[in-house]
Amino acid sequence: MIANEFSCPFCCYLSPNSEELQTHVSSEHYKELKTPTKSGKKQQSHESDESFTECPICMTYFSIKEIDNHVQKHLSEAEPSCSTEHDALVATCLHNTERMVEENLAKEAAENLQLQLLQEEFNCDPNDKVTYKKQAKQVMEKAVGRKKMTTTEYYRRRFEMLESLEQGIDDGSTLTPDFAFKLSKLFNQNTRNNTSIILNSTSVHYGRGAGDSGWGCGFRNLQMMISSLAALPAYRDHLQQFQDKIPSIPKLQSLIEDAWAIGFDPRGREQLMGKLVGTRKWIGATEAFVLLSSLHLHCKIVDFHSRSGSKVNTELFKWVLKYFQKDLNQESLLKPGSVELANIPILYLQHHGHSRSVCGVQVNMKTKAASHLIVCDPGMTKHQLSAALNGNKTCSLSKTLNSFKEEKYQVVAVVGISTTEQFERQKDVDTLAEKIYSQKT
């Protein structure tokens, strides 16, 4: 090396003066100076919450407390020893390192805030000690106090609930009997000649109960999906364990935790603080995908996003129609005024704050487009649904395009039984989500 030449700490570049070297470092090695925290996340450790970042010179990870001294050590070993110019180089690199650390801390704070908001959205209150069992007991006690339930009925229902919880099997108290038959009959009586309907052939409805009112819609939708799937010819043998033995909500919570334990959706597990059992945390489409995937079912998750100034409901309706039509041999099989039963799984439909199950679609025979979705809402109680069915009212179940006003929807669909490779791939939910955007108007 020529005397008084300065060497770049990142590459073999040599410079006769420090100013030129500073320009080189700033222009050619900007990315190295902005290296983010490892994997863009906090280092996961139960022993320490320290953040780690990468040294821009040797690419080794150090804590934020140690990185300044470490970089300075590198620079003190660099050529040459001319103090004034060397100090300028040290100052430049340390300034850039400090900027990098500040950016990492800001990014970490933003991630923590996002995580906190997600936990609030999913009702992740660590101080909430009310469980499914305790809420059910409180609701039934209030019903007795208001003379809406007799003491005898209270003890009978409490005993049934405790027995159900011990076995992990839903007691069926919110299940509408013969729902698929009643649904088909309802639409056969009310379908006009200019429309046609495709219905899932094994639809069931679980409404909200005393123990899950206000937070259990995701779990009730999972009960509908599992029950319907177990009755379909293509899934009957695979899900034999669930025939007439639908998991209770606490059991579903446990099954999701079991799926997390074998590697499904680590990010979602973190957002829900790794615990569902004994809580009233809400779940969404991701948790539904996780549970169904853990049962070795091949699933798809689709995100529908609205572009600025446009609606996403049209894209949602197109997708749902195509999904339900695939079980039919030909589109021409749809006859005006007919109700076709399809051996295809129902869909899990999520939007902000609520989820429902889609068990069919109504088609306008003139335009060949979906005009309504046939929706099972777990927010409806067994008695409310029975009143709608007996009153020959389709409006509670048949929803128009304009009733879907959210900017984002998520759909979970079961499309088969998974192979070993698909089972492993579905553990990473984020990489599998298909995204569909509304068309700009």
Catalytic residue among 24, 74, 305, 354: 354
8 a catalytic residue: no
Catalytic residue among 55, 93, 217, 299: 217
For residues 260 and 269, is the Cβ–Cβ distance under 8 A? yes
In this structure, what are the phi and psi dihedrals at residue 246, rounded to the nearest 5 degrees?
-80, 130
Query: Could you give the dihedral angle defined by the CA atoms of residues 205, 210, 214 and 219, in that order, rounded to the nearest 10 degrees?
Result: -40
- Going by their DSSP bridges, the two strands 354-364 and 369-376 should be labelled as antiparallel
Closest to 173 (Cα-Cα) out of 157, 189, 185, 187? 157
Plot region of 131 (φ>0 → left; ψ -120 to 50 → alpha; else → beta): beta
Distance (Å, whole) CA 256 – CA 277: 9
The tokens of 102 are what?
A: 């500040």
Catalytic residue among 170, 212, 265, 377: 377
377 a catalytic residue: yes
237 a catalytic residue: no
Catalytically active residues, by annotation: 217, 354, 377
